[in-house]
Each structure stands twice: as C-alpha cells, then as structure tokens.
Structure 1
Amino acid sequence: MQLPVAVEALSALAHANRLAVFRLLVRAGADGMAAGDIAREIGALPNTLSTHLTILSNAGLIGSRRDGRSVIYSADYDGMRQLLGFLVADCCAGRPEICGTLSDLAASTDCCT
C-alpha cells in the first residue's frame, strides 16, 4: 500500500460514524448489511450515511453489491489487511515480532468493544 492510499483510508476512518460503520461491517462478515440496516444500527440519517459509505468505499475499505432492490455493503478485508500491514510494516525498527500479532492485541485489550 502506498502512502497516499493509506492516508485516504486513515482519513476515512477518522470520523466516529464512519469508524462505527466500518466496525459494524467487519462484524457482519461476508454477508454484509443493507444500507437501511446500517443506518438504523448506528443512528444515521440515510443521506448522511450515503456520504459515509461513499468515502469508505473510495478509500478501499468497503464494497457493495446489489441484492434485488437493496444494496448490501461489506467490509473489504483485503483493503483492511493492506492498511494494517502498512501500519505495522516498520514496527519497532523492522522487528515485527516485538509488535506481536494483531489478533493477540485484539484479544488482550478492549480495543474492539
């Protein structure tokens, strides 16, 4: 991942509602969620949510697909892995073992609640 792409992704996540949407979609898994369900879950107005979804999509963090008349959004796990990889690539002066695994970090803290 190049620096400009990482900056765009981090910028997209630097808003409380967009971060809430992204975390919700990560938890939803590959099935994803319809826009209306996302709006209800995070308490966002549809037009505001649309803007947030566009920003997250442009940043490569979520994707969408049609399912009948609904648009289903889901986390782009490859985009997420690329961003996380970019963030830890230079961890501890090139000694990534010092950083531990991200799954260990998530399990040992309240970062994901």
Structure 2
Amino acid sequence: MDNEPAIAALGALAQGTRLDTFRLLVTHEPDGLPAGEIARLLDVPQNTMSAHLGTLARAGLVRSVRQSRSIIYRADLDRLRDLMLFLVKDCCGGRADLCTPLIAALAPCCPTEKVLQ
C-alpha cells in the first residue's frame, strides 16, 4: 500500500459514524449486514448511512453485493490488513523485540485455529 490509499482509508475512518460502521461490519464478518440494518443498529438515518457507506467503499474499506432487494455490506478485511501492515511495516526500526507487545496484544483478538491431526 502507498500513501494515497492509506490516507484515503484513514480519512474515511476519521469520522465517528464511519468508524462505528466499519467496526460493526468487522464484527459481522463474513456475512455482512444490509444497509438498513446498519442504519438501524447505529441509529443513523438511512440516507446519511448511505453517504457514509459510499465514503467507506470509495476508500476500499467495505464491499457491497446485492441480494434480492437488499444491499449487503461487508468489511474488506484484506484492505484492513494492508492498512495495518502499512502503518507498522517499519515498526521500531526493524527491532522485532520492540514490536512483540503489539503482536501479543492482537493475538487474543484473532486466535489461530489448531489443525486437527
């Protein structure tokens, strides 16, 4: 990721409703949520939510797919990963030992599944 897409993503998240929307969508992966349900859950008018979702989509943070009469929105976790890696790529000047607390703090969020043998 280069500076421009990172700035666009960070800019899109630099607003309370959009940040709440993105975080809500992350919790509903992989199924996503219809636009109306997002608006209801966050108590935001549907036309306002539509504008926020458009901003997040242009920044590449959410994707949408039409299902019957609904549009289902999902967080783009690949884009989130790219943004996080962009932010910490040169973490601590290459001293991995200084980045260990950051990695340890993220591990409980997303534990890896043990492979059954």
TM-score by length of structure 1 reads 0.88
Instruction: Give the structure with higher Rg (CA).
Output: 2
What is aligned with 1:57? 57
What is aligned with 1:20? 20
- Alpha carbon RMSD of aligned pairs, Å? 1.7
Q: 1:17 to 1:94 in 2, by over 3 A?
A: same
Q: Tell me how far apart the structure 2 counterparts of residues 84 and 101 of structure 1 sit (CA, whole Å).
A: 15
Name the amino acid aligned to 1:66: R
| Runs of 4 or more above 4 Å deviation | none
What is aligned with 1:88? 88
Q: Tell me how far apart the structure 1 counterparts of residues 94 and 103 of structure 2 sit (CA, whole Å).
A: 19
> Matched residue of 1:99: which SS?
helix
Q: 1:96 to 1:63 in 2, by over 3 A?
A: farther
TM-score by length of structure 2 reads 0.85
Q: Can you give the 5+ residue segments of structure 2 that lack an aligned partner in the other structure?
A: 109-117
Name the amino acid aligned to 1:57: A
**CA deviation string 1:77-107 (max 9, x = no partner):** 1100000000010111122442237563246
Q: Can you give the 5+ residue segments of structure 1 that lack an aligned partner in the other structure?
A: 109-113
